[in-house]
Each structure stands twice: as structure tokens, then as C-alpha cells.
């Protein structure tokens, strides 16, 4: 399997909390990168292994080296921002990494999604929605982004738009994610009954 495809599958596995698959893919990517003597990719997949194990400081070290070898790796900036957030680093530093990821790899949907997720978490709901819309421009069938968009709408008190986004998330889910579909359906019911 080629490394970009491995990265995409790894991102999906982490997004949907399939950590067994994520760990296997990270190990596969690490072995392949080492075999090909690709320093940037070796550091990237090493960082993924650290992230899965919640060793964020070690992951940041790997990602920083990855970026030294390949300063155009938007995913590495994205992941370093997420590690900084997990460690409680400054908002400014995390946003700077998201912005740098967008600058160097403007067609990487995940970095827009994660910046939107973080802005929503910071209470900057309208800005978050803007980044979710940018995500959809690149990846219109991204279920997790519709879930996060729904959260932003709920935070703004726009329940109808939230339900619409949740229904779109269900449409975009892969059939294997039946547990996530059930969770979203339960959330829709709670919102429609006015309990949220």
C-alpha cells in the first residue's frame, strides 16, 4: 500500500476511534517508511503511534522532525496542533499550527475540520461553521464534519439546522459504522424532543 493511502486510512481509523486498526496502520506505515528510508514519513508514522498511545509530547517531537524534513506536510501541522491542544498548550500555538497546515497544504480537508472543531470548542461558533464549510468544499461527504457542524448549530441555538446536519452525517456514514449511526439517531431524537 502506498503511504498517502495509508495516511488516509489511518486518519479514518483515528477519527472513528478504531484504535486497533489505527495502531496496525501506523506500524505498517512506519515499517514501510523505514524500509524506503523516508525520514519525514518515518517521523510522521512514529508520531501516529505516539498519538494513539496518548504520548503527546513524544508525538510533538516526532512531528517537529517530520516538518524539518518536509515543511509542506499539512497533516503534520494538523496533528501537532491536536497534540498541543491535548497538552493544554496556548490557543495561539495550536491555531498557528492549524493555519500553517492550511497554508502549506490548502487541499487537506482534515486541517480545516480540526480547526473548526477547535474553534467550536473555544466558543467561536460562527468561525467554526466557516471552517466546516471549507471542509465540505474539499470533502463533501465527511460525516464527522456534519456531526461537528451540528454541535456548532446547537451551540448557537439553531436546532433545525443541527438536526439537518445530523441527518446528513448519517447519510455520509459508511455502512460499517452502525454504532455511530445509532448514536446520531439518538441525538436527533433528543434534539427534536427539545431535551437538548
Residue 28 has pLDDT above 90, yes or no: yes
Per the domain annotation, does 123 fall within a domain? no
Same domain for 85 and 162, yes or no, is no
User: How many folded domains does the chain comprise?
Assistant: 2
Per the domain annotation, does 114 fall within a domain? no
Per the domain annotation, does 122 fall within a domain? no
Report the share of the chain in percent with pLDDT over 90: 93
Residue-level pLDDT at 78: 98
Domain boundary among 106, 138, 168: 106
Report the share of the chain in percent with pLDDT over 70: 99
Angle value at C-alpha 42, between 116 and 3, nearest 5 degrees: 70
Residue-level pLDDT at 1: 65
Q: pTM here?
A: 0.94
Q: How many CA atoms lie within 13 A of 162 on its CB side?
A: 22
Per the domain annotation, does 112 fall within a domain? no
Per the domain annotation, does 29 fall within a domain? yes
Q: Which band of pLDDT confidence, cut at 50, 70 and 90, is reported for residue 196?
A: confident
Which CATH number belongs to the domain containing residue 61 in this structure? 1.25.40.10
The per-residue DSSP string of 6-51 comes to HHHHHHHHHHTT-HHHHHHHHHHHHHHHHHTT-HHHHHHHHHHHHH
Same domain for 37 and 90, yes or no, is yes
Same domain for 88 and 150, yes or no, is no
Structural domain of residue 140, as residue ranges? 130-196
Residue 176 has pLDDT above 90, yes or no: no
Amino acid at each position: 500500500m502506498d503511504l498517502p493511502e495509508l495516511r488516509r486510512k489511518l486518519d479514518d481509523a483515528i477519527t472513528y476511534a478504531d484504535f486497533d486498526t489505527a495502531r496496525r496502520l501506523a506500524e505498517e506505515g512506519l515499517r514501510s517508511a523505514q524500509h524506503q528510508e523516508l525520514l519525514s514519513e518515518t517521523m510522521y508514522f512514529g508520531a501516529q503511534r505516539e498519538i494513539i498511545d496518548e504520548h503527546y509530547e513524544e508525538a510533538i517531537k516526532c512531528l517537529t522532525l517530520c516538518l524539518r524534513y518536509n515543511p509542506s506536510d499539512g497533516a503534520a501541522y494538523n496533528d501537532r496542533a491536536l497534540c498541543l491542544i491535548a497538552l493544554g498548550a496556548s490557543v495561539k500555538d495550536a491555531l498557528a499550527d492549524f493555519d500553517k497546515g492550511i497554508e502549506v497544504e490548502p487541499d487537506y480537508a482534515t486541517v480545516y475540520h480540526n480547526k473548526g472543531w477547535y474553534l467550536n470548542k473555544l466558543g467561536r461558533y460562527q468561525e467554526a461553521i466557516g471552517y466546516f464549510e471549507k471542509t465540505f468544499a474539499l470533502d463533501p461527504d465527511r460525516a464527522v464534519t456534519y456531526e461537528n457542524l451540528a454541535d456548532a448549530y446547537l451551540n448557537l441555538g439553531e436546532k433545525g439546522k443541527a438536526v439537518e446536519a445530523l441527518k446528513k452525517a448519517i447519510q455520509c456514514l459508511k455502512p460499517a459504522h452502525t454504532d455511530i449511526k445509532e448514536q446520531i439517531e439518538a441525538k436527533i431524537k433528543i434534539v427534536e424532543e427539545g431535551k437538548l
